[in-house]
Amino acid sequence: MTHHGPALIAPKISPVLDPDFRPAALADRAARAAAKATGRAVPVRLAIEQTDGSVFHHTTEIFPEGHASAADNYTHVERLVKFLLWGWGGWRIHLDGPKPLGDLLAKHFRDSVTGKFDSNIIGEKIYDRPIEVVVTRDLPAARAATKPLGRHLNGCRIGFDLGGSDRKVAAVIEGKVVFSEETVWDPYYQPDPQYHFDGIMDSLKKAAAHLPRVDAIGGSAAGCYVNNRVKVASLFRGVPADAFNKRVRNMFLDVQKAMGGVPLEVVNDGEVTALAGSMSLGKNAVLGLAFGTSLAAGYVTRDGNITSWLNELAFAPVDYNPDAPRDEWSGDYGVGAQYFSQQAVGRLMPAAGITVDSKMPPPEKLKHVQALMAQGDARARKIYQTIGTYLGYAIAHYAMFYDFDHVLVLGRVTSGEGGEIILAGASAVLKAEFPELAGRVAFHTPDEQDKRRGQAVAAASLPQIGS
């Protein structure tokens, strides 16, 4: 099949188990350079609007109409918009560019499988309206608000983190952890919300037993939360729509009532990942990435605040090869969840020559690879080397949209020596392909103890006690 889109640039450092990987960072850079080289590049300005009035701008260049490569323009812009929607978030896309391009984008969100998924999840479920494309020369002015997040450690607190394969909880007194625990669970395909509620309450009660009193509760979980209400979350993907509306949407308000009405805050797990990194490093301008059941991401600005961005990089493309693996939920290709998660480990196992029962769940596949890694198995090492190469190119792409100096990488996939191999591989890519980033961006990973409970501890700091 003929490929229409940005040129697929082979990386200088090829992932050892994935020679067909074509990094988004290189494709985007090459597309803009080729358009400029014509001497007639057409600027395209984008403004992504959120329901609170926040507007974020991004620009690119495309080939002029009639150019031999003009057919590549749509995919170049569509992949860019895809990233902006999942990274920054918004429902209305203002496009200052050719009208036919805007019409194709509107058709994409109206008719295609992946476009309709984005419009349903981001537009309707998060921002309460379908995605809209407006072609205009007059973009709304950029405007954004940031706000502080957490860092409150006074009193007796509980922090929890709800992942796809386990839930973590910590009891914290004046910033000191007095109890922490991980519990295996399987929330993704549970249709009864009571399963989720009972699991959360079980963890909270265990933590509460180690405190003289509970002053506040903070939590993190995959998904989008507004005023402690669940807008959309992968943890509840197995719950039917009617049960979601009746039991899930206000579940954390019900948890708050059950725990005596103490201050409670629940936010996206990626935000707490970044917060945990900022707190442990004592620095800002942090991009946090958690490699777990899926990919969670969060961002702390240079002034130590968070933005209104979604940071759902699990759905943001990092590989522009149209034959790249597809995400099971969105159906899209080359997105982060398939490269930085337990799913990625499982996907790479056959290429590494590691054979297990195909029905083995992702957490068990990861444990198997980690056990092999501990034994010095070269096949397991190749999996981590491959993920490290992926990460280096992804960081370069993320740097187009985020202003950061520090990247905190954590999550179960990064435990043990495998995590060190991942970071070494990412650093090698930056040195080889993106020296300007290599001199600025520092990679960090917490120690093993913080990896397992740092998220829950940072979550405990979310609520403010008193006025």
Residue 243: name the closest of 194, 282, 199 by CA: 194
Q: What is the pLDDT of residue 1?
A: 38
Share of the chain above pLDDT 70, in %: 97
Q: What is the pLDDT of residue 451?
A: 57
Domain ranges of the chain: 24-135, 156-271, 274-319+334-456
CB atoms within 10 A of CB 183: 12
Residue 161: name the closest of 276, 7, 322, 60 by CA: 276
The CA distance from 112 to 243, in Å, is: 28
The CA distance from 63 to 69, in Å, is: 7
Q: Which two tokens stand for residue 323?
A: 């034959």
Instruction: Give, rounded to a whole angstrom, the gap between the first and last alpha carbons of the chain.
Output: 62
Domains 156-271 and 274-319+334-456 alike in fold? yes
Residue 94: name the closest of 105, 86, 110 by CA: 105
SS3 306: strand
Contact yes or no for 42/56 (Cβ under 8 A): no
Q: Which two tokens stand for residue 419?
A: 């995590």
Strand partners of residue 57: 47
Give Cβ neighbours of residue 43 (< 8 Å, ≥ 6 apart): 59, 60, 61, 96, 97
The CA distance from 189 to 180, in Å, is: 26
CATH number of the structural domain 156-271: 3.30.420.40
Contact yes or no for 413/291 (Cβ under 8 A): yes
SS3 168: strand
**List of the chain residues with pLDDT < 50:** 1-2
The CA distance from 283 to 227, in Å, is: 27
Tell me the HSE value of 22 on the side-chain side, using a 13 A CA sphere.
19
Dump pLDDT digits (tens) for 19-30: 999 999 999 999
Q: Which two tokens stand for residue 118?
A: 């984005």
Domain 274-319+334-456 CATH (choose: 3.40.50.1100, 3.30.110.30, 3.20.10.10, 3.30.420.40): 3.30.420.40
